[in-house]
Structure 1
Amino acid sequence: MQLAQVDNSRKNSYLGFTKSFLLWSFTLTVCFLVVGFPIGVLLVTCGILATIILQAVLPSSAVVLVTGSILSLNLLIVVLGAAILTFKGIHPEEVSWLHWLHGKEDLQPSNSPVYAACPLTCNLTKVVV
Structure 2
Amino acid sequence: MTAPRPVRDRAAAERAGRRAETIAAWWLRFHGWSILAMRARVRVGEIDIVARRGRMIAFVEVKARSTDFAADLALDPYRLRRVFAAAETLFHRYRRPGDDMRVDAIFIVPGKWPRHLVNLWRD
More relative contact order in 1 or in 2 (CA 8 Å, sep 6+)? Answer: 1
Higher fraction of helix: 1
Normalising by structure 2, what TM-score? Answer: 0.32
Normalising by structure 1, what TM-score? Answer: 0.31
Higher fraction of strand: 2
